Amino acid sequence: MNMKELVERFPIQLEEALQIALSAKIKPTEIAIQNIVISGLGGSGIGGSIIADLLSDTLQIPVIINKNYAIPAFVGKNTLFIASSYSGNTEETLEATHKAIDEGAEVACITSGGKILQLAQENNYNFIQLPAGYPPRSCIGYSMVQLLALLSGYGFISKDILSQVKTSADLLRTNTTKIKTEAEKLAAFLYKKTPIIYTADGMEGVAVRFRQQLNENSKMLCWHHILPEMNHNELVGWVSKNDNLALVYLRSKQEYSRTSERFAFLDKAIQGFTPNRFTVSSIGNTALEEIFYLIHLTDLSSVLLADKNEVDAMDIAVIDRLKSHLATF
């Protein structure tokens, strides 16, 4: 399948991910977990960022997202360390996982195979195995749902949240035409422009996901920021007209009311500096449904934009060259 086909089957992926999650056997731990570290990079890691945002007002212990070879100094016997690597061979995640093991952390893994799977099987760690053979960035549904399964298996969240995965898939199917139409409009809007993505705190992971998809699929540079933080710095940077900048607002019903007022002020304040402003408003009855809606729509727009840019959305040759280069050291 090409990337467009992979993106279009996202509702199916969510249903498949749900079945994997419901079949997962997570062994409980007697350790008093005091913090959670989710370690992963790129397409394997962004799901952790989104889940951490989603559960920030639910979990009673801190969740740290780790995207490095190193691990935080606090990692120890009271840490749940989740290694998320689709291939199972991400070198940063592997090194961080070994360091977490050395510190006595409770380790759990989400992977399709590779060294991470071998490590989990040899040490009897909790793990959930994903279907193999896909680009990692096309498997965000698999990884996000399995993170929810792990956290519910350890007792940190209710397993009831998994029912929202099915309603999310239904929502996406019901709104297929709307999503495709909006994605086409968004792709046309961003064509030959530099995208800037603004969203509210709590949805930053979704904005980062869109930025990454524009990077990898559309082969475009862009940046993102969140409100209200953006109002305290980047807002001042809007001082000159630039018709090449294309501003995308990712809006959610989860926004705090005063943040919504900030969006309204922002749009008025910068309208003289760029005429290119586009709002993508989420739909759904839960935060998870809204998140999956925004992911699906923006993912689709990134592959449509790849077609407009006449680039191969699947191509990541430069990353492969980097991995080959690092293998010589």
CATH number of the domain that residue 274 is part of: 3.40.50.10490
| Cβ–Cβ under 8 Å, residues 109 and 117 | yes
| Cβ–Cβ under 8 Å, residues 107 and 97 | yes
Single residue among 166, 183, 198 that ends a domain in this structure: 166
Identify whether 329 is part of a domain: no
Report d(CA 234, CA 112) in Å as an integer.
40
Same domain, 223 and 122: no
pTM score of the predicted model: 0.97
Largest CA distance in the chain: 61
What total of structural domains would you count in the chain?
2
Nearest to 15 by CA among 209, 173, 177, 183: 173
Q: Which helix (H) or strand (E) holds 16?
A: helix 10-23
pLDDT in tens, 135-158: 999 999 999 999 999 999 999 999
Identify whether 103 is part of a domain: yes
pLDDT in tens, 168-220: 999 999 999 999 999 999 999 999 999 999 999 999 999 999 999 999 999 99
Report d(CA 273, CA 245) in Å as an integer.
9
Could you tell me the residue range of the domain that residue 179 belongs to?
Answer: 175-309
Identify the pLDDT of residue 320: 85
- For the chain, which ranges sit under pLDDT 50? none
Identify the pLDDT of residue 176: 98
Which residues form the catalytic set? 216, 232, 323
Same domain, 228 and 128: no
Same domain, 159 and 229: no
Same domain, 233 and 100: no
Same domain, 79 and 50: yes
Same domain, 159 and 81: yes
Same domain, 17 and 159: yes
Same domain, 152 and 195: no
